Every structure is written in C-alpha cells, then in structure tokens.
Amino acid sequence: MQLTGAQALIKSLEMEHTEVIFGLPGGAILPAYDPILDSPIRHVLVRHEQGAGHMAEGYAHVTGRPGVAMVTSGPGATNLVTALCDAYMDSVPVVAITGQVSRPVIGTDSFQEADTVGITRSVTKHNELLMSAEEVPLAVRQAFLLATTGRPGPVLLDVPKDVLQEKTEWYWPTDDEVSASLPGYKPTTKGHPRMVREAARLIAASERPVIYAGGGILKARAAEALRSLAEITRAPVVTTLMARGAFPDSHPQCLGMPGMHGNYAAITAMQEADLLIALGARFDDRVTGQVSTFAPAAKVVHVDIDPAELGKIRQPDVPIVGDCRLVIEEIVRVLAASGEPQADRGAWWARVNQWRERFPLHYEPQAEGEALKPQAVIEAIRDASPADTTVVAGVGQHQMWASQFWRFEEPYTWVNSGGLGTMGFAVPAAIGAKVGRPDRTVWAIDGDGCFQMTAHELVTASSERIPIKVAILNNAYLGMVRQWQELFYKERYSEVYLSPDLPDYVKWAEAMGCAAFRAETPADVAAVVDKANAIDDRPVVIDFRTDANEKVFPMVPAGASNSDVIVHPSQRPGGEEVVQ
Amino acid sequence: MATAAPANAMWGSGSGRLHHQTISVIVENRSGVLARVAALFARRGFNIISLAVAPTDDEAFSRVTIVVDLQETSVEQLTKQLFKLVNVVKITEMPPGEALERELALVSVRCAPPGAPGPSRGEVGDLVRIFGGSVVDVGQEALTVMLAAEPSVLDDFEELLRPYGIIDIQRTGRVALPKLERQAFRRGRGTAGGEK
C-alpha cells in the first residue's frame, strides 16, 4: 500500500491509539492536516501552540497515555518549547510533531525555518529530524515507546514538508524491530534483589521512617503499591507537589506536602527522620531547602527509574534503579515474608502528631469588609464539587493553596507545573485534562497573572465544547512575587501590581464564549460555585476578588534550612516577626 | 615504544593528569549525536579536557573518547546523564592508570636551512628520532614533525621543541582503549612478553 509521508504519519498515530491531537496548522505541516479529515483522531484546534503543548500534558497527566501535539515549523515549533520543557521537567509523556521546511532548503534560512531539533534537544527526552517518508512509522513507534517507558518525557519528531508529501510503501514495524532500532535504550524496571532486601532491612529497623512519595509514584501507576507499603510499615507518608493524590489526604498516615510551602509536620518529620524512603522523587530544591542541612540524621533508600537521580543531590544508602510499582511491590513482599517485627514507632508517631496538632495549615478568617480569603474560596469549591474532581493549577500562591487546601483522595486528580513552574499552565492543561477524562469535573484554580498568559485558549474550549471551570483568584498582583518582596525586599513592591479590573475578567470570558461570574463576598462564592458546577455545556470563569495581603504559610525561604520553617504569624510564640 | 621515561623525569609535566579520567562512549553513528553529547556537557556544566570521535570497526557505531578532570566533574553523574541519551549504547570508564591513551601531534618547527646560523634540520630531526616521531614535511626554514604518544610525552616533546620556535601545533585529543585484562597481563609477564 503506497501512502504519502503525511498519510503514514496519521496512520501511525492511529496505530498508536491516539485519540486526540492538539495542534495548529501552518505551511510546513500542511500536508499532515489533509489526512486528518479522513481519520477518526479528534483534532483540537488551539489558538497558540504553547496551548497545544500544555493540553497534551494535561491529557497525559490524567490518562497516563501520551499527549500528542502537532504544530508547524519555525514559530510553531518555538512556541511549543515552553511546554516541552515543562513536560521534560515533570516527566510527562508527550509526542510532539513539528513541520519542517523541505529537505532541499534546510539550512538556507528559508521561510519559517528554525533548527527545531537543535532548539529542543535539551528539553526533550529524544528528538529526530526525519529525512524520508519511509522512516515515519518506525520513528512514531520509537517516539511513543520512548515517551512512555523508562522515565517518561516529551519526544519530538521534526518532519520536513517534502517528506510528508513523498510516497512510501506502508509498513508497520514489529516490537523486535523497534527495540533493535534503539540499541542504547534499555530502561531497568526490576529492582536489584539484594538492594531490595537491604531496603527492607533498613525499613524494618527504622524507628523514625518517612515515606517520601514523588511524582514517579503516579507515573509508575504505583499508588496501590504505595498504600500497601505505608500500611505494612505504618510509616508517615509525605506526598510532594507532583505526587498529590498518590496517597489519600484522608489517610491517617498522610502528612501532606513537604517542602518550601509544605505542611509543618511533613517538613519536620523529614528533618527528624532516621530513614527517608524516597520513591520516584528527586530531592528537588523546593523539597529539600538547603541540602546540607536536609534530613541530617536520615539514611536514604532511593527508588527511581532514572539512575541519574540516584546520588544527584543526596547520596542514598540504598540506591534502587527500577520502576516504582515493581520495586515497592518487591519491598512489600520481602517485608511480609520476613515476618520480622517492625521497630516500635509509637514515640515517633507521638512526635509527628504533636506537630500536626500544633501547626496545622491555617489562615485567618475573612474580616468584615475585607476581600475574600483565597484559601476559603478553594475550600468552598472543594466542598461543592465531586470527590473525583480534577484540579489543575497555574504557578504561584494559588497553586500552593490549591495543593494545601484541596483534599486529594484519588490519584490523577491533580495537574500542575512543578519543575518548570510555568505560569499560564492551568487553562490549557485543564482543557487537555477534560478531553482526557470528560467524565470528571475539571476545575482550574488560577491566578490573575497566570490567567492572562494563556486565557485565549478558552476560545478553544468554547468552540470545541470542552466545559472546564476556571477559578481566578484575583488579588490584582503577581502574588508570589509580591510575597517575596514583602518578606525579603522590605516591602518594596516592584512591578507586581496588575489591577483587579483591567482586564474585566467577566467580559473577557464572555467574549470568549464562556459563562462568567464575579464573586466578592462569601455569599457570592457559594452561589457562583454551585452555578458553575451546574453548567456543563461551555466553560465557566469566575473572578474571585481575593485578599492581596494573604501569604502562603508555612514557608521555608529559598536556600534556608528546612529546620527554619516560617509558620503562620498566629502560630508563632513571638508574634509577627519573620524568622530569618 | 621506548619514549616516556626521560622526558617525564625532566619536566614532571604528567602530574596534573593524575586526576584525568578517560571515558569511552560508544554511540550510534547518526547525524546529530555528537551535538547531543556536547549539548549535554554544556547543559549540565561538565568541563571536558579533550574529546575525540571516530567510527568503530562496526560502521553503525562511533567511539567518543572524552577526558574529564575528576576534581571538577562527577564522573558518576556524567556517565549516568550520558547514558540517558537514547543514542548512547555503551560507556566504559577508564580510571587513571587503566587506560591505554595515545594522542597525535603535528608540529611545524623552525630550523635553519643548510649553512645558515641557528639550529639545523639535523638537530630537530635528532630530537624527533629520540621520541620515536617522524618528519612529515620539509620546508626551506621549517620542518613539520609528527609524534603519536602518551599525552604527557607529547607535552614534553612540545616543551623541548619550543626553544627552536614552534610555528604551529595541532594535537588530536586523546583516544583510548582499556588496558587488556590484568590476569592476561600477569601471565604474559613471564611468558609471551606481555605489553611492555
């Protein structure tokens, strides 16, 4: 069967079970858009290519399947770079297809030419420039394999226009041919048995263990395995920003999020632990604070599919390269089989519970005449929405409050930009999440600064009938920057004020085809959240007017030790002063 | 090769190399692979001392020989990060002392034509012969000489040529293979003559 490169590309995507492509056509990718008309694959036409990338990420986060983005050459490809970098940092499986100028003019600075493979080399797990139509099916199979196995990540295929137009004999490579074509790619999935036994021994002997669960738990579909490990060890569990939902917040052993804006008990339990069981986590600086003073007494068992993470920041006592689910299941099996009693952790739990009781997450209730408390808005949405609601955040204060004050009970209900910290992530990622799981309510919790970066994708959502809900916590500031300027720059506010009314978010949202509301009082909040939850035929945007003075606590200042947590002022013995 | 000992003793220039480690990386022989390796070093802030690339006996693969300073670079991180590149097939770390390393230098050096004052071709030629190198080009007032040797020997050779006036020098960067298995080496000492 003779196909053009374009037909072979779309057929290959079909063979890989692609349901949806997020994209935007242009000159070089044009040939690939023709066969889309005849394909069962849905295409979501974005308004800016960055949106296509974040939608693919949102889709991948909630489904576990790779998101597919397709854009044209030059500016199409460069607009995708932020999303690729985001996916790379958070290990999100994405397959990106970019058009490229025709082979004879590559390297001549022709119209809309960019060195896409060069530009994206350091933000993709792998990328390839395809130089013949014949290569297309194998390259697509490789891309899906690479994106989804080992440590997941984005893979980009750059396809010249004349390759898309060229005819080739259709051929779908076998599994063996795919693995033979990647002689250097053999991810280790099964943990080394001796290391697994050593880990089990350390765990059983530990008096003050903490399970440090990272995003790798979700990537490895290891939430159930994590729960068995937690229950057999009775160890406290912290779930990082990337792992919220991997372990239910309602579980008595769950201490919540660690790190810069983590729960006091989670941060402090890690500091005081004698053993950290790091599972699919990478000792990010936002978790460790100052590395030299992080968890000083703890031995470390570190499980990760990426060998380069072991010893990158903290030298583990027991390094285990492998798939989190497989390794945790093995550790649980060894622990259960050994029949040895676990060390007594009564004293440890007594301390942990003291921290929990003394320093719970806290904010002062709204005073009469003041603006809404952002935390209260999040709680109101949480309480009025279904338990399996997917929450998507942008980056900043609202993201931290969403992580802190939502209660995550199920895996894959939390989508955010952790590693790269991409403002503007929420709206497009929420669209992708809704496309991936249309059965679930999707709430984007966004800031006013973030919203302005990618709000235009609500046009996409309206025209494609993707009914997401967006809560703008509008404090008229780049709030997290403002918080740092307040605490660390003597309240000298530089370039952080945005205005609550410019733009008029309600009118803007309405112009983009959304239902839109504004809430200024607690009574408004409950009413508009209910209204929003009742609307299912178009996107909804709510402009919540929130208190700009509200700060995210607890806080560990950048570079400080996790032993120096700044708690909420009302929880400090000395009153209002800031601990340096 | 009977070259190294005298020069080292005189100049002691090999000492800085104690911290040098050679890493031999087998990569798929495809376009862009060297760029991936180089980009990774830049991205992760790894300093490299030298890098040499050439195809192996199997044309599907190339060997990249990289020398790094152990004091500046975590070889463990470097090899782990390199191995994440899909096109990297095999990495062999060769700690100092366990690699057979060679480097080639071409040096154009001044010498006086016959009859003119100053060091003659013969003088320069003698030095080259002592080191086991060869003269590869002869000009009116210069010679181009070639020497393939251990890198520290090349350093010495270069220093000894310097007083004559080096016009141009080009070194290749190091290539290396692991030393053959020690057991074979020990056996060989008594019988077949071994490696020395």
A290 sits in which H/E element = none
Nearest to B28 among A117, A183, A312 (CB): A183
Higher pLDDT, B190 or A343: A343
Asked if A118 and A247 sit in the same domain, the reply is: no
Query: Which of B39, B81, B89 comes nearest A183 by C-beta?
Result: B89
Query: Under a CB-based contact definition with an 8 Å cutoff, are residues A505 and A474 in contact?
Result: yes
Window 130-189 of B, Cβ < 8 Å to A: none
Domain end among A358, A382, A402: A358
- CA A50, CA B184: separation in Å to the nearest integer? 59
Cβ–Cβ below 8 Å for A184 and B81: no
Residues on chain B touching A121 (C-beta within 8 angstroms): 35-36, 39
Residue A20's pLDDT is what?
98
Q: Is A574 on the interface with B (CB under 8 A)?
A: no
| A308 lies within 8 A of chain B by CB | yes
Supply the ipTM of this predicted assembly: 0.88
The pLDDT tens digits of the residues spanning B95-106 come to 877 888 999 999
A22 given a catalytic annotation = no
**H or E stretch at B62:** strand B61-69
Average pLDDT, chain B: 83
The CATH number for A292's domain is: 3.40.50.1220
Structure tokens, A544: 């919540």
A580 belongs to a structural domain: no
Residue from B28, B44, B80, B88 whose CB has the most chain A CBs within 10 Å, to mutate: B80
User: Residue B6: pLDDT above 90?
Assistant: no
Contacts of B29 in chain A (CB under 8 A): none
User: Are B86 and A306 an interchain contact pair (Cβ–Cβ within 8 Å)?
Assistant: no
Residue B11: band (very low, low, confident or very high) from pLDDT cuts 50, 70, 90? very low
- Two tokens, residue A405: 């004050």
DSSP A176-207: HHHHHT-TT-----SPPHHHHHHHHHHHHH-S
Helical segments of A183-322, H only: 193-205, 216-219, 223-233, 264-272, 285-288
Asked if A516 and A538 sit in the same domain, the reply is yes
pLDDT at B73: 84
pLDDT of residue B20: 85
pLDDT of residue B9: 33
Closest approach of chain B CAs to the CA of A184, in angstroms? 4
> Dihedrals φ, ψ of B192, to 5°?
-80, -5
Nearest CA in chain B to A306: B84
Question: Quick one: pLDDT at residue B179?
Answer: 85
CB within 8 Å: A125 and B86: yes
Residue B182 pLDDT class (50, 70, 90 cuts): low
In sequence order, which residues have a C-beta less than 8 Å from that of residue A116 and are 6 or more positions away?
A: A73, A77, A78, A98, A100, A127, A129, A156, A158
Q: Which CATH number belongs to the domain containing residue A125 in this structure? A: 3.40.50.970
**Per-residue pLDDT reduced to its tens digit, A487-522:** 999 999 999 999 999 999 999 999 999 999 999 999
Kindly determine whether residue A308 and residue B28, on different chains, have CB atoms separated by under 8 Å: no
Q: Does domain B101-176 have CATH number 3.40.50.2020?
A: no
Rounded to the nearest 10°, the torsion over CA A275, A277, A278, A283 is -10
For residues B146 and B104, the answer to whether their CB atoms sit within 8 Å is: yes
Homologous superfamily of B12-97 in CATH? Answer: ACT domain (3.30.70.260)
From A331, A358, A385, give the residue that closes a domain. A358
Q: What single-letter DSSP state applies at residue A373?
A: P
Contacts of A126 in chain B (CB under 8 A): 86
**A422 plus A332 within the same structural domain:** no
Residues 6+ apart with CB under 8 A from A43: A20, A21, A22, A23, A36
Quick one: A28 and A133 in the same domain?
Answer: yes
Catalytic residue among A7, A16, A22, A49: A49
- Residues paired with residue A95 on neighbouring β-strands, in sequence order: A68, A155
Tell me whether A484 touches chain B (CB under 8 Å). no
What pLDDT score does B192 carry?
36
Q: Are residues A255 and A296 in the same domain?
A: yes
Q: Which pLDDT score is estimated for B181?
A: 75
User: Quick check: is A446 in a domain?
Assistant: yes
What DSSP string runs through A537-560? SS-EEEEEEB-TT---SSB--TTS
**C-beta separation of A25 from A35 below 8 A:** no
List the structure tokens of A363: 């904010």
In this structure, are A140 and A235 located in the same domain? Answer: no
Q: Is A104 on the interface with B (CB under 8 A)?
A: no
What pLDDT, on the 0 to 100 scale, is given for residue B98? 82
Residues A282 and A219 sit within 8 Å (Cβ to Cβ) = no
Does residue A138 lie in a domain region?
yes
Q: Which of A54, A45, A26, A21 is nearest to A454 (CA)?
A: A54
**Phi, psi of B136, deg, nearest 5:** -110, -15
- The answer to whether A498 and A449 have CB atoms below 8 angstroms apart is yes
Question: In CATH terms, are B12-97 and B101-176 the same topology?
Answer: yes
Q: Which residues of A406-419 are buried (b: 16+ CB within 10 A; e: fewer)?
A: bebeebbbbbbbbb
The reply to whether residue B83 touches residue A308, judged by beta carbons under 8 angstroms, is: yes
Q: Minimal Cα–Cα distance from A437 to chain B, Å?
A: 32
Pick from B39, B84, B90: CB nearest A121: B39
Are A211 and A176 in the same domain?
A: no
The residue count for chain A? 580
Q: Is pLDDT at B15 greater than 70 in this prediction?
A: no
Into how many domains does chain A fold? Answer: 3
Q: What is the DSSP letter of A578?
A: P
Residue A170: inside a domain: yes
A381 & A462 share domain: yes
Q: Which of A125, A161, A434, A551 is catalytic?
A: A161
- A21 shares its domain with A161: yes
Q: Cα A158 to the chain's mean position, in Å?
A: 25
Note whether A121 contacts B36, CB cutoff 8 Å: yes
Q: In the beta sheet, which residues pair with residue A386?
A: none
Pick the closest to residue A130 from B84, B64, B32 (CA basis): B32
Instruction: Quote the pLDDT of residue A430.
Output: 98
Tokens 């200042």 belong to which residue? A557
The domain in which residue A441 lies consists of: 374-552
**At A549, which amino acid appears?**
N
Does A207 qualify as catalytic in the annotation? no
Instruction: Say yes or no: A175 and A198 in one domain.
Output: no
User: In this complex, do B36 and A184 lie within 8 Å of one another by their Cβ atoms?
Assistant: no
Cβ atoms of A453 and A82 within 8 Å: the answer is no
Q: A413 and A265: one domain?
A: no
Cα–Cα distance for residue pair A470/A568, rounded to 1 Å: 28
Taking only the tens of pLDDT, chain A with its 580 residues reads 999 999 999 999 999 999 999 999 999 999 999 999 999 999 999 999 999 999 999 999 999 999 999 999 999 999 999 999 999 999 999 999 999 999 999 999 999 999 999 999 999 999 999 999 999 999 999 999 999 999 999 999 999 999 999 999 999 999 999 999 999 999 999 999 999 999 999 999 999 999 999 999 999 999 999 999 999 999 999 999 999 999 999 999 999 999 999 999 999 999 999 999 999 999 999 999 999 999 999 999 999 999 999 999 999 999 999 999 999 999 999 999 988 788 999 999 999 999 999 999 999 999 988 999 999 999 999 999 999 999 999 999 999 999 999 999 999 999 999 999 999 999 999 999 999 999 999 999 999 999 999 999 999 999 999 999 999 999 999 999 999 999 999 999 999 999 999 999 999 999 999 999 999 999 999 999 999 999 999 999 999 999 999 999 999 999 999 999 999 999 987 544 333 3
**Is residue A49 annotated as part of the catalytic site, yes or no?**
yes
| Distance (Å) from the alpha carbon of B30 to chain A's nearest alpha carbon | 11
Q: Which of A55, A89, A480, A555 is catalytic?
A: A480
State the pLDDT confidence band at B183, using cuts at 50, 70 and 90. Answer: low
Q: Using alpha carbons, select from A147, A28, A154, A150 the residue that is nearest to residue A98.
A: A28
* Domain contains A574: no
Asked whether A167 and A134 are in contact (CB, 8 A), the reply is: no
Active-site annotation holder among A15, A111, A224, A340: A111
Q: Do A497 and A521 have their domain in common?
A: yes
- For the four alpha carbons of A376, A377, A378 and A380, in that order, the dihedral sign comes to positive
Distance CA B21, CA B73 (A): 10
Q: What distance in Å separates the CA atoms of residue B135 and residue B127, rounded to the nearest whole number?
A: 11
Residue B180: the pLDDT is: 85
Question: Chain B residues with CB inside 8 Å of A144's CB?
Answer: none
Parallel, antiparallel, or unpaired for β A390-393 and A442-447? parallel
Q: Tokens at residue B105, please?
A: 């230098």
Scanning A387-456, the segments in alpha helix (DSSP H) are 397-405, 426-436, 448-454
Q: Do strands B48-55 and B61-69 pair parallel, antiparallel, or not at all (unpaired)? A: antiparallel
Residue of B nearest to A130 (CA): B31
CA distances A199 to A150, A297, A299, Å, are: 22, 17, 10
Please answer yes or no on whether A146 and B86 come within 8 Å at the CB atom. yes
Q: Are strands B99-110 and B166-171 parallel, antiparallel or unpaired?
A: antiparallel
Q: Where are the domains of chain B?
A: 12-97, 101-176
Whole-angstrom Cα distance, residue A575 to residue A579?
Answer: 11
In this predicted model, what pLDDT tens digit does every residue of B111-149 receive, in sequence order?
988 888 888 899 999 999 999 999 999 999 999 999 999
Mutation site for A-interface testing, chosen from B36, B40, B46, B84 by largest number of A Cβ within 10 Å: B84
